[in-house]
């Protein structure tokens, strides 16, 4: 950053060059790998001397030549530009030349100015960037969320709003609860935390908080206790609305009329995001900003007046669009997972990471009207395939940080418009919003150049709760606005395109996004650094496979320590949300640059350890099987001893795997054989045997690991297949085995009571792991048996620190009202593939095969045995009277479903003396063990297992299961 005259002087170190007729400047952009020789100048020649460029490639070259008159006096300087036509268009190069000429003229006029002070943007382009492309002023009504919702209630009182409630009913409930909240201390300037599962009660509670004048603080029920404590400690709410509080909230004596207006400057909500200092930070969004967002949304998103799916966590501001936009537009809210059950949705918001899931789901799961994509950078190829299947749907690529009230720019792709081949632009600013792309001196950068994005206007949040210093750092004075106006420094690097749309380039700091969640590596580092045995650490994001972004923590052990990566990950899972828990890699030292800073480029890629004894494929068939495993699992490579299920496989992927094996080898391999022989080596042996193998006594979902093993007890049909989605969501280091009914293995169905079946499972468990401790889990009837197994193991002197139960029941109260045939069918078709009673095994097998169920791979005799075992186990369940266990339990309950009456979880509370905790879920009996449900409840299961078996047993003070919920 020298004065211009000094720069010229430094370019001419030999005084003999002072009057040389040539000044040649070469700008070499790109192809950094080329070996470009240095510039050479002949000091005696009066003709241009070109740089020797043999073998080099240039993207852009600029050359200047000084001209002399006949008498030797200066006659001006001419310049030329050569460019690669496949990288630059003519107008872009012309604009670069014009800016360069402007800088040179300014430098000649004022040679003492520092080079960095020259403005490369001419006045006309400056007006375009700061005024014309920011001409977004629009007269709009000022609204607040309660007022806008109240208006919609008056327009459509009887229309459905959410899960069985009309607009009028939702409003009345929210009004009564708002009045109760006011009596309990809520009101303007106050915060109320809301920690509820996604349900109609959640929507009513959020509305009630805003109607009371207070702001809601969303707290995801799946957050670990330490994370919840940090949020609540920072927010200091006057109330925490959770299921227990709501159960005792009596609103019957309160008026259901409108509680009154809310001031636009009052906060509407406070959403906590990851913080670089190690603590989450709360973004305060006012009703003025939220109201402006919703007023625009109800006009520009007409499909929000239909059905909208709310599938993301409400602690994530992606939900603000999907939840509130429809409720101020007359739309209907569906609360659920983004899975095959979704149908009839007109309006949906997703992240780019969801696009692959949408393509894998049935076409009806995608929206019919508008799909909004946001939260991460969107690339055309990822979107193009989905658009080909849904050509009539409008796609909107939206951009915006939480500090700008969800979104502040968007780019629209109407039906029929071409999908961009590269990055999809993030578009233009919203109404009454301005965006500026600035350099480090807050000056506009030219079209096409990268700069940091600043946002100004009505969308801005108030700032960070209780952090005035951070607020002042990120919300700065706007040099292009009126007196007192602010703009938010996003930290995102963008560029203007020639058509006036913005394009995302990257980040100016270390902040990252993974699956649209905003993560400050500094927060993860602070938690990792405090973990036992950690000396130094660093956390980075890697993308070793395109589209697969992973958070990786690198650890240098403290002196005398040898931390186990699996134990460290389990520890982090007790403090951080699942999306913030990194893969942990232990190093002898962190690589540093010559300046002593972390050398990120030198950090090694994580090596995902294969199972012990993996010495590589021995035959061509094993090598092909490794390739097929990797293809199906979307992994770069798979070892011969890697478990299919430990690498993320599940029953539906097993069907795909078997299909590919049959296609490549012509082998008669069934899905059940993948469950019994889950590695390449084992499956290769099955093919050698002719592809015929009976049902094994154990499914080894995960063999490797030194931590407490997890044993999964089969449900009423006796098969352990239904647990296939669970192992991949459990902490690493824990072996996972699913037991199967011994009568299925023997092929002979005889009556067995729960106690007798439990003894058989105990024998099998101790064959696999002779001594405890053990962790148990059971779904449905499997939970009944798991509790008895815990009792028997404890009687033998072993420890069972945790038993996980999924919608389990016992005794006469658990008897189904369905017929025996219906019950048999439903417990067999655990994937929901068949929904009508079928008595004939051959007909049932055909139905299951047509539906793509893994059970369709079984033979008729095996299906008949499943039905017999189901009847026997159902009888055993109704006759069983359990005795208490000494350990602890975590129970996941459901609402009544097609199988029959769901027992109250309270029936189990006295059967675990070490502690009992229940969790209500919104899933039915079949769905509770499937992938969609486990995505939601899996993190809590992983945390409980990590606490129970990933480190020494917690003390009474930090025990997570200390009492009834």
Write out the catalytic residue numbers.
Answer: 925
CB-CB contact of 383 with 350 (8 Å)? no
How many Å apart are CA 260 and CA 644, to the nearest integer? Answer: 58
How many Å apart are CA 413 and CA 547, to the nearest integer? Answer: 22
Give the dihedral sign, CA 176/178/181/182. negative
How many Å apart are CA 364 and CA 362, to the nearest integer? Answer: 5
Residue whose C-alpha is closest to residue 743's, from 853, 871, 847: 871
- Left, alpha or beta for 332 (phi > 0: left; psi -120 to 50: alpha)? beta
How many Å apart are CA 300 and CA 218, to the nearest integer? Answer: 27
- Report the C-alpha dihedral over residues 416, 420, 426, 431, rounded to 10 degrees: -30
Residue whose C-alpha is closest to residue 514's, from 377, 677, 348, 402: 377
Query: Which ranges in 796-953 belong to alpha helices (H)?
Result: 820-828, 841-850, 860-879, 931-949
CB-CB contact of 788 with 810 (8 Å)? no
How many Å apart are CA 318 and CA 325, to the nearest integer? Answer: 11
What phi and psi, each to the nearest 5 degrees, are found at residue 315?
-85, 5
Give the dihedral sign, CA 329/332/337/341. negative
CA–CA distances in Å: residue 18 to residues 105, 169, 595, 962: 20, 86, 37, 84
Strand, coil or helix: 390: coil
Vertex 771: Cα angle to 767 and 773 (nearest 5)? 120
Which position has the token pair 């939220």? 290
Residue whose C-alpha is closest to residue 402's, from 238, 272, 566, 312: 272
Tokens of 346: 């007109």
Which are the contacts of 160, defined by CB distance < 8 A and separation ≥ 6?
166, 167, 332
Which are the contacts of 362, defined by CB distance < 8 A and separation ≥ 6?
340
Which are the contacts of 294, defined by CB distance < 8 A and separation ≥ 6?
143, 145, 148, 324, 325, 328
Give the dihedral sign, CA 587/589/592/596. positive
What phi and psi, each to the nearest 5 degrees, are found at residue 15?
-60, -25
Which position has the token pair 């067995």? 752
């Amino acid at each position: 950053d020298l004065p211009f005259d000094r720069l010229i002087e430094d370019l001419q170190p030999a005084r003999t060059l002072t009057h040389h007729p040539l000044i040649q400047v070469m700008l070499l952009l790109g192809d950094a790998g080329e070996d470009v020789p240095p510039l050479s100048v002949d000091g005696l020649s009066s003709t241009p001397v070109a740089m020797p460029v043999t073998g080099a490639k240039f993207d852009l070259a600029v050359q200047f030549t000084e001209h002399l008159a006949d008498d030797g006096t200066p006659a001006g300087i001419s310049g030329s530009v050569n460019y690669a036509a496949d990288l630059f268009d003519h107008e872009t190069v012309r604009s670069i030349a014009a800016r360069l000429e402007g800088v040179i003229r300014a430098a000649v006029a004022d040679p003492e100015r520092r080079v960095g002070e020259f403005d490369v943007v001419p006045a006309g382009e400056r007006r375009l960037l700061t005024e014309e492309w920011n001409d977004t002023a629009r007269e709009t009504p000022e609204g607040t969320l309660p007022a806008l919702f109240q208006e919609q209630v008056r327009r459509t009182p009887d229309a459905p709003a959410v899960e069985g409630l009309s607009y009028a009913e939702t409003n009345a409930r929210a009004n009564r609860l708002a009045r109760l909240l006011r009596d309990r201390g809520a009101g303007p300037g106050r915060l109320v935390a809301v920690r509820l599962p996604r349900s109609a009660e959640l929507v009513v509670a959020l509305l009630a908080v805003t109607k009371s004048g207070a702001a809601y603080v969303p707290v995801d029920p799946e957050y670990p206790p330490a994370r919840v404590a940090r949020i609540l400690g920072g927010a200091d709410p006057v109330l925490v609305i959770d299921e227990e509080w709501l159960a005792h909230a009596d609103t019957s004596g309160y008026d259901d009329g409108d509680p009154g207006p809310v001031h636009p400057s009052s906060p509407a909500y406070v959403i906590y995001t990851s913080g670089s200092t190690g603590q989450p930070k709360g973004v305060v969004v006012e009703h003025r900003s939220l109201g402006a967002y919703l007023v625009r949304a109800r006009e520009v998103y007409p499909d929000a007046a239909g059905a909208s799916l709310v599938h993301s966590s409400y602690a994530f501001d992606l939900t603000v669009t999907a939840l509130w936009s429809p409720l101020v537009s007359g739309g209907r809210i569906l609360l659920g997972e983004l899975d095959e059950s979704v149908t009839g949705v007109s309006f949906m918001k997703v992240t780019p990471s969801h696009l692959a899931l949408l393509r894998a789901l049935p076409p009806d799961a995608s929206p019919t009207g508008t799909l909004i994509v946001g939260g991460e950078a969107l690339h055309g190829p990822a979107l193009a395939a989905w658009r080909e299947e849904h050509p009539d749907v409008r796609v909107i690529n939206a951009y915006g940080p939480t500090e700008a009230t969800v979104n502040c720019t968007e780019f629209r792709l109407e039906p029929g418009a071409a999908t961009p081949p590269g990055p999809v632009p993030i578009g233009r600013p919203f109404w009454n919003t301005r965006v500026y792309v600035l350099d480090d001196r807050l000056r506009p950068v030219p079209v096409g150049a990268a700069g940091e994005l600043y946002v100004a206007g009505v969308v801005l949040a108030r700032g960070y709760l209780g952090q005035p210093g951070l607020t002042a750092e990120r919300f700065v004075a706007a040099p292009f606005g009126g007196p007192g106006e602010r703009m938010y420094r996003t930290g995102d690097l963008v560029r203007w395109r020639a058509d006036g749309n913005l394009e995302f380039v990257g980040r100016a700091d270390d902040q990252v996004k993974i699956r649209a969640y905003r993560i400050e590596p500094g927060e993860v580092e602070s938690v990792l650094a405090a973990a036992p045995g950690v000396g130094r650490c660093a956390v980075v994001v890697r993308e070793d496979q395109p589209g697969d972004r992973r958070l990786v923590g690198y650890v240098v052990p403290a002196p005398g320590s040898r931390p186990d990566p699996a134990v460290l990950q389990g520890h982090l899972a007790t403090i951080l949300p699942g999306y913030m828990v990194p893969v942990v890699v232990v190093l002898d030292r962190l690589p540093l640059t010559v300046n002593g800073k972390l050398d990120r480029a030198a950090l090694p890629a994580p090596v995902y350890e294969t199972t012990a004894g993996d010495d590589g494929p021995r035959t061509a068939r094993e090598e092909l099987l490794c390739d097929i495993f990797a293809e199906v699992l979307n992994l770069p490579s798979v070892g011969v001893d890697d478990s299919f299920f430990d690498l993320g496989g599940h029953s539906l992927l097993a069907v795909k795997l078997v299909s590919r094996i049959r296609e490549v080898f012509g082998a008669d391999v069934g899905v059940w054989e993948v469950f019994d022989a889950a590695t390449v080596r084992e499956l290769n042996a099955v093919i050698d045997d002719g592809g015929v193998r009976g049902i094994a006594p154990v499914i080894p979902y995960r063999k490797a690991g030194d931590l407490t093993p997890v044993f999964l007890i089969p449900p009423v049909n006796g098969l352990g297949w239904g647990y296939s989605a669970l192992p991949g969501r459990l902490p690493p280091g824990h072996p996972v085995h699913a037991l199967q009914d011994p009568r299925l293995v023997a092929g002979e169905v005889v009556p067995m009571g729960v106690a007798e079946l439990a003894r058989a499972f105990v024998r099998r468990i101790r064959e696999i792991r002779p001594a405890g401790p053990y962790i148990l889990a059971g779904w449905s009837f499997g939970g009944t048996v798991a509790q008895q197994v815990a009792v028997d193991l404890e009687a033998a002197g072993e420890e069972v620190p945790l038993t996980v139960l999924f919608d389990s029941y016992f005794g006469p109260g658990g008897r189904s009202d369905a017929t025996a045939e219906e019950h048999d069918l439903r417990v067999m078709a655990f994937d929901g593939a068949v929904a009508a009673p079928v008595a004939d095994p051959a007909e049932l097998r055909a139905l299951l095969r047509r539906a793509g169920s893994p059970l369709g791979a079984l033979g008729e005799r095996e299906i008949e045995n499943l039905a017999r075992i189901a009847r026997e186990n159902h009888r055993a369940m109704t006759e069983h009277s359990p005795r208490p266990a000494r350990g602890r339990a975590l129970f996941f309950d459901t609402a009544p479903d097609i199988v029959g009456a769901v027992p109250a979880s309270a029936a189990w509370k006295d059967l675990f003396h070490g502690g009992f905790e229940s969790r209500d879920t919104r899933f039915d009996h079949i769905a509770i063990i499937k992938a969609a449900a486990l995505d939601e409840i899996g993190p809590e299961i992983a945390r409980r297992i990590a606490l129970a078996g990933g480190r020494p047993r917690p003390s009474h003070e930090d025990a997570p299961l200390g009492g009834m919920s």
